[in-house]
Structure 1
């Protein structure tokens, strides 16, 4: 039976954007799926037209949603998550629900104290209005260009925005932004004592939404967990669009090579 890989999208991107990754991974012998967040609809167009199901969906709800999906599989899968999907992937791994996890430019977990200006500006379309905590917010082309497409041409950035963006729930961003001040934050991950499968954390050096300094802070949180494998890969010149843009296959091939090195 082939190993199953579950792809988890991040905020503002529909799960259908994983299709090229799924095709590549299936060519390499994996089974794949890319379930949406709770409240996502089947297509980009349907989700844009009816985003209300995403209202007030938080980190815990999204984690439980994927945990329930994974519980229905025959064996523990590998999870590959981008942005907030990378945070969810770490939660699933720390709770021993998956065999391994890849967190591509992941949203910060509790304990990260650096807050670069680029990250703050990327989140401002949501965090700038407290009322957004309980509703969905869409990014304009200009906002997407800064947060995701800053290393792309305007034409490629706008094309990705048109193809894949959906409104995203504000609640996860507010929960992440306040994680260090909340005792039982849903953004908390057991980085220290969890005995788990291997984890790969990655960062694009030009990422505005999750700058490299943020991901390096996450890597440091895992430093004292010597019982489990934690690796870090750095992608020179790539921004937050690295799973979507014309260079996506470079990242996917690197992830496949890492999985092969782990004998997964």
Structure 2
């Protein structure tokens, strides 16, 4: 580890607040890093405030989110590590493909342009937003049962409901529509330069029981990087769902990420 702690930027996905990364921040700071977890553009500082003003984040898209985090990373330096979950995973892949950041970890990353599998569980997870075309310009909230299917299906219902109460917030639906149409749009914002070489190393992580980003989707994402000589690896967590970064087993994931970063010299 260098004398000056290496910056780490955590990027959350849809329907979770940035403060859901706090346990990771504490762990990474104790490991010698300098971590931060900024919210998405216009995201309120607290869960309660975000729930009280959902319109603040309505109609925000992938490019706006990527530009927001690019500016943050550029302010921290070229040695910054990027770690994202769900749509945050797509964002860190996108940034790394643009030469932003020294390396990245994408946990259950939303599918990028070129990924074709679309399992029924994933369709059901996205239906609260995609089920109404008018949601394109809106912020959408999940119900506790919807959260339980999309995030908490691999934990006890009581734990899922507790995570929902603690971290769930309204999120813009536009990113989901952009991903859904990505393979039919020439210049989709969900496109990632997967052939870039050189670039920093990338670790993809999947939970084999994930409904929102099923394991087959993450494995297909890995295949998109076949034309790059840069380090791109996949780690699977058996029986884990989309909540694997925030549920009772989050430390297993965080420890694996720290071990991989050390192995990459990051």
| Smaller-chain TM-score bracket | over 0.9
- Other-structure match for 2:9: 6
- Other-structure match for 2:18: 15
The two structures have a TM-score, normalised by structure 1, of 0.98
- Other-structure match for 2:204: 201
| Structure 2 residue ranges without an equivalent (≥5) | none
Task: Show CA shifts across 1:145-198 (max 9, x none).
Answer: 000000111110000000000001000000000000001000000111342100
Residue correspondence of structure 1 range 12-161 to structure 2 within 5 A: 12-161=15-164
Displacement of 1:51? 1.8
Of the three residues 189, 192, 206, the one matched with 2:192 is 189
Quick check: 1:39–1:52 contact (8 Å CA) kept in 2?
Answer: no
Quick check: 2:78–2:100 contact (8 Å CA) kept in 1?
Answer: no
3-state SS in 1 of match to 2:204? strand
Displacement of 1:74? 3.6
Distance (Å, rounded) in 1 between the aligned partners of 2:82 and 2:75? 14
Aligned residues: 263
* CA RMSD in angstroms, aligned pairs only: 0.7
3-state SS in 1 of match to 2:76? coil
